Amino acid sequence: MSIQEKKTVLNMTSGWVIFVAYAFYLSQNYSEELTSTPVDIKFWASAFLILIPVSIVARIIIHIIFAIVTKVATDEDLNYKEDERDKMIQLRSVRNSMFMFAAGFLLSMVAVVMDAQPYMMFVIIAIGGLMAETMEGLTALYYYRRGF
Amino acid sequence: MNDEMTQQALADAVGVSRQTIVAIEKSKYSPSLELAFRIAHEFKKPLEDVFTYDPEADK
């Protein structure tokens, strides 16, 4: 597996770990606010906004640890200069992730129209974001492996 | 063609990663025109001697 593929897998895994951990934390400490009716919009907005710095800090820590472990185990440097192939793959990956996020957003609107619980809209949007990040990683892995 | 040059050396000379050179050699990536010219220039060969086009592959 190339360095680019390893970093892609690391990003995907980090995203899932952070999302699941954060969701678990919210469900344990704010279960009433999560499922309240009427929906507590301010709570959901805060939850999304706080996820951003939490995710950034967590990813930095995960990347540092992984870089150290990789350097010690394989003497491989995780840093590399992006070339045209990396940028082309990144463009396609981001495009696909945008499509996935848009699909998640539309699905959340469908849920509202179908009279689902109001908080489900935010849950579906959050999961849509996670799926978008997963799609980005899978697309990158696909093109790194298969080529184009 | 220049069998004394390693993939890493060629990659460093033309400004891409070794994985990109591998992908080009395995026909898993079509380089940009600029990169193709840089590779041919590095080998001191004309472009057509380094890269070929097979119309049958498009069918």
pLDDT in tens, A18-32: 999 999 999 999 988
Among all chains, which residue has been given the structure tokens 């849950």? Answer: A123
What pLDDT does A61 receive? 95
Residue A10 has pLDDT above 90, yes or no: yes
Residue B3 has pLDDT above 70, yes or no: no
Orientation angle between helical segments A3-29 and A41-74, nearest 10 degrees: 140
CA–chain centroid gap for A76, Å, is 26
Judge: B29–A86 Cβ closer than 8 Å, yes or no: no
pLDDT in tens, A84-143: 999 999 999 999 999 999 999 999 999 999 999 989 999 999 999 999 999 999 999 999
What pLDDT does B39 receive? 96
What pLDDT does A148 receive? 81
Higher pLDDT, A125 or B53: A125
Distance CA B52, CA A53 (A): 50
User: What number is the average pLDDT over the span B15-42?
Assistant: 94
Residue A76 has pLDDT above 80, yes or no: no
pTM attached to this predicted model: 0.86
ipTM of this model? Answer: 0.84
Interface test with A, best of B28, B32, B35, B39 (most A CBs within 10 A): B28
What pLDDT does B20 receive? 94
Range of the domain at A140: 3-146
A80 close to B (CB below 8 A): yes
What pLDDT does B2 receive? 52
Distance CA B55, CA A141 (A): 28
Distance from CA of B59 to the nearest CA of A (A): 16
Fold category of B7-58 in CATH: 434 Repressor (Amino-terminal Domain) (1.10.260)
Cβ contacts below 8 Å, chain A against chain B, sum to: 33
Counting the structural domains of chain A, the total is 1
User: What number is the average pLDDT over the span A7-16?
Assistant: 94
Q: How confident is the model at residue A5 (pLDDT cuts 50, 70, 90)?
A: very high
Residue A72 has pLDDT above 60, yes or no: yes
Residue B57 has pLDDT above 80, yes or no: no
Distance from CA of A8 to the nearest CA of B (A): 15
- Give the one of B16, B26, B27 whose C-beta lies nearest to A85's C-beta: B16
Which of the 8 DSSP states describes residue A32?
A: H
User: What number is the average pLDDT over the span B12-29?
Assistant: 93
Q: A16: buried, middle or exposed (CB in 10 Å: 19+, 13-18, 0-12)?
A: middle
